[in-house]
Structure 1
Amino acid sequence: MSSHPTSPRPVADLFAADGRLVAIPRRPARREALLAHLAETLFASGRVYREAEVNEALKTVHEDYPALRRYLVVGGFLARTKDGAAYHRQRTAPLPGGATPSVA
C-alpha cells in the first residue's frame, strides 16, 4: 500500500529555484492545476495575445512551449481564433448572466 498524501501538493513544487518548470506533470489533475496557475500568472484577463507572445511567455517556464500552449487551449484555459493567430485567457468560472468572452 502506498503512503502518498491525499491532499494535493502545491503547484510551487513543480518549479525549480530559478522559476522554471522541472517537468510537465503527466497526471491530469496535477497538470490541470499547473495550467490554471500558468494561465493566471502569465496571461492577463481581457487581453488578446499573438501566438508569438504566447510562445515567449511559455518559454520563460519550459522549453516545450508548444505542448504547454496546446494543453492550455485543449484544457480551456486559453481560447484561440480559428486561424490560430490570436489567443486570450478564458475565465474558468462562468461569467455573470451567462455571458461568454469572445475575440473579434
Structure 2
Amino acid sequence: MADGSLRADPAVFRRARSVEEAHPGVPRRLVGFFAQGRLTAIPVRPAVRRELLAHLTGTLFESERGYSEAEVNAAFRTVHDDTSALRRYCVENGLLVRERDGSVYRVAAA
C-alpha cells in the first residue's frame, strides 16, 4: 500500500485450499510434490522423503499380503515412473520388507 503497510490477498488462501482439496489424503507438507495425482519429484531431504514413502506405502499397499516385484512396480507406477528408486527407498527405510530371494515384498510391521 502507499503508506507502507501490508495487506493480505485473500486469493492466496483460496488457492492454497484448492491445492489441498485437489490432493485429498496427501499430508499438507507433501502436497507440493504432487501434480494431477502424480508425484513430480522424490524429496531429497531424508525426513521428508521418508514421510512421503510412508504415505505411499500406507495408501498403495495392504499390510496383510505379499506383493511380487511386478505388483510393487505397478503400484508405484500409478504415482511416479521411477519405480525402482521408490522401491529401493522403501526397503532402505524399512517400510517394505523384501524376502531374501526377492520374490515377495511386504509392508513392514509397525
TM-score, normalised to structure 1, is 0.76
Counterpart of 1:80? 98
Which of 7, 19, 30 in structure 2 is aligned with 1:11?
30
> Structure 1, residues 16-64: CA drift from partner, whole Å, max 9, x if none?
1x21001000000110100100110000011110110000000111111
Contact kept? 1:11, 1:37, Cα under 8 Å:
no
For residues 1-40 of structure 1, the aligned pairs below 5 Å read: 10-16=29-35, 18-40=36-58
Which is higher, the Rg of structure 1 or of structure 2?
A: 2
Bigger helix fraction: 2
User: 1:62, 1:90 → 2: CA distance?
Assistant: 21
Identity %: 57
Tell me how far apart the structure 2 counterparts of residues 82 and 36 of structure 1 sit (CA, whole Å). Answer: 22
Structure 1 stretches of 4+ moved >2 Å:
none
Which residue of the partner structure matches residue 48 of structure 1? 66
Per the alignment, in what secondary structure is the counterpart of residue 88 of structure 1? strand
Residue 84 of structure 2 aligns to a residue in which SS? helix
Match in the other structure for 1:68: 86
Aligned CA RMSD, in angstroms, stands at 1.4
More contact order relative to length (CA 8 Å, sep ≥ 6): 1
1:85 offset after TM fit, Å?
1.0
